[in-house]
Amino acid sequence: MKVLIHETQGTAADCVAGLFAERLAQQPETVLGLATGGTMETVYERLIARFQAGEMSLAKARSFNLDEYVGLPPDHPCSYWHYMREKLFNHVDLRPDHAFLPKGDAPDAEAEAARYEAAIVDAGDIGLQLLGLGANGHIGFNEPTSSLTSLTRIKTLTRSTREANARYFETFDDVPRLAITMGIGTIMRAQEVVLLAFGAGKAEVVAQMIEGPVSAACPASILQMHRKVTVVLDQAAASRLALRSYYEEVHPEVRAPAI
């Protein structure tokens, strides 16, 4: 696990966008695993800027998002489909028929989860997976106690996750109780993973993920078992790490090291 500690969120997001651009330059047909949430917004802004500057193209790439709320159709303003169109897809050259998310309004959500897992396998699995981190250690919507070998399936969201995401909905009761999410096993098959976390609110769970035991109580801790992970943090998110000397401090004048 490579841990990069940036002075600011801006340089951290830039670093992640840089890793994407590098990977796409080497392998334009990369299968990307994409994430939602507030943390990703700056990353997508930086990716769009690189695309507009002619430095990066997604024309040959494909993408699979981690998750979607059960019950929300793709045009629902709180759906992750909507988020992705607004924050990224509408602004870059990724082909619409190459961008995939689970269908939240599928009549049979379980069958949809199985279909989505099979589609990822058919695509040859994820090449580069982008992850955020839930305050309770979830990745995708794999809440604590998720099987560490799980595949794409339906998960019940914890109250704390629904509360954290309530800011996107009119009322707390509008936040769906279920989601279709890539499993932890699905994520672990990715060739390369980049996880990004910002802010003091994530500091405790970042320390558990990197320095704690591998445990379903903190699903992100399974990344300790992945062969190619980069964790990109700002100073606040890194503030509870004990083994500081092991990690790389990234200063603005230093180019982020390649993984």
Ligand X SMILES: N[C@@H]1[C@@H](O)[C@H](O)[C@@H](COP(=O)(O)O)O[C@@H]1O
**What residues line the site for ligand X (CB under 6 A)?**
35-39, 66-67, 132-134, 140-141, 161, 165
136 is catalytic: yes
Nearer to ligand X, 168 or 247 (CB): 168
> Closest separation between CB of residue 36 and ligand X, Å?
5
Sign of the C-alpha dihedral, residues 140, 19, 118, 75?
Answer: positive
Residue 116: how many CA atoms within 13 Å on its side-chain side?
30
| Amino acid identity, position 246 | Y
**Per-residue burial over 1-28, b = 16 or more CB atoms within 10 Å of its CB, e = otherwise:** bebbbbeebebbbbbbbbbbbebbeeee
Nearer to ligand X, 29 or 86 (CB): 86
> Closest separation between CB of residue 167 and ligand X, Å?
9
- 138, 142, 165, 192: the active-site residue: 138
Strands in 178-181's sheet, in edge-to-edge order, are 67-69, 178-181, 153-156
Nearer to ligand X, 60 or 76 (CB): 76
Nearer to ligand X, 127 or 140 (CB): 140
> Closest separation between CB of residue 49 and ligand X, Å?
20
For the chain, counts of helices (H) and of strands (E): 7, 11
Burial bucket for residue 74 (CB in 10 Å: 0-12, 13-18, 19+): middle
Nearer to ligand X, 51 or 80 (CB): 80
> Closest separation between CB of residue 28 and ligand X, Å?
26
> Closest separation between CB of residue 134 and ligand X, Å?
5
Kind and range of the H or E run holding 47: helix 38-52
Q: Is the Cβ–Cβ distance between 2 and 230 less than 8 Å?
A: yes
- 105, 136, 211, 226: the active-site residue: 136
- 14, 67, 68, 234: the active-site residue: 67
Kind and range of the H or E run holding 229: strand 229-234
253 is catalytic: no
Distance CA 198, CA 131 (A): 12
75 is catalytic: no
- 143, 165, 192, 234: the active-site residue: 143
Other CB atoms within 10 A of residue 228 CB: 13
User: Which residues are known catalytic residues?
Assistant: 67, 136, 138, 143
